[in-house]
Amino acid sequence: MKTQMSRFQIHDELTAPDAAVPVLNSAVAGAGQLPNFLGVLAGSPAALRAYTLYRSELRHGKLEAPTLERIALAVAEYYHSDPGIATHARSSRSAGLGIDEVALAREFSSLDARHGALLRYLKAILEERGRAPMYLHEEAREAGWSDEEILEAIAFLSLESFTAIINVAGEVPVDGSVESARMLLAA
């Protein structure tokens, strides 16, 4: 069995540059384990700090967890980010999305008309490099999304795009996949 290897070192608290260690310790304290993505990002303390600050600020925004998870799933699928798809499929279920909504979100869609309008707009932003047609923007507003919520959705889209790009460019393995392969080899 071949174990997927990251192009970048996946750091932990012992191997990360000193400037990244406080952020990693905080992440481990909050989540119980260090995601491979953060371990990779620790190779650049400045990138790690920027990412965590950006994510932290968006957590205090107007958008609720199910909306954020829909966006994260759509972006992970768009970039073919296996770690993102795996992570957000789990966290989407925890945020209350049903299996059908998880599948639809991966296609920038939703049974909920309000979320569907927002996701169509965000898909166009990605595909058109920011130049989404005005009618999609207006559809999102008519569906009840405020300017503040739309701006946060675009910001979250960019954050999840960054995450997916690092995962794909770095060939970052899905969390737990390396440990599972080690256990199989040891057995």
Q: For 2-26, write each residue's pLDDT tens digit.
A: 446 889 999 999 999 999 999 999 9
CA 76 to chain centre: 6
The structure's pTM equals 0.89
What's the rounded mean pLDDT across residues 49-64?
A: 95
Amino acid 1: pLDDT: 42
Contacts of 12 (CB under 8 A, 6+ apart): 24, 34, 39
Is the predicted pLDDT of residue 153 greater than 70, yes or no?
yes
Q: What are the pLDDT digits (tens) for 124-151? A: 999 999 999 999 999 999 999 999 999 9
Predicted pLDDT of residue 181 = 39
Domain with CATH 1.20.1290.10 in the chain: 65-167
Average pLDDT for 76-95:
95
Query: Rounded mean pLDDT of the chain?
Result: 91
Instruction: Return the CATH fold of 65-167.
Output: AhpD-like (1.20.1290)
pLDDT for the residue numbered 65: 96
Q: Which helix (H) or strand (E) holds 1?
A: none
| pLDDT score, position 32 | 76
Q: Are 172 and 165 in contact (CB under 8 A)?
A: no
What's residue 5's pLDDT? 81
Nearest 5°: phi and psi at 107?
A: -110, 20
Cβ atoms within 10 Å, residue 43: 17
Place of tokens 């998870």: 69
> Which tokens is 165 given?
């790009």
DSSP state of 81: -
- pLDDT above 70 for 179: no
pLDDT at 177: 56
Name the residue among 159, 166, 175 with its Cα closest to residue 55: 159
How confident is the model over 72-89, as a mean pLDDT?
97
> What six digits make up the tokens of 180?
């599972």
User: How many Cα atoms sit within 13 Å of 12 on the Cβ side?
Assistant: 6
Task: Report the alpha-carbon distance of residue 92 to residue 142 in Å, rounded.
Answer: 25
Q: Which is nearest to 120 in space by CA: 104, 109, 134, 133? A: 109
Residue 178, pLDDT > 90, answer no
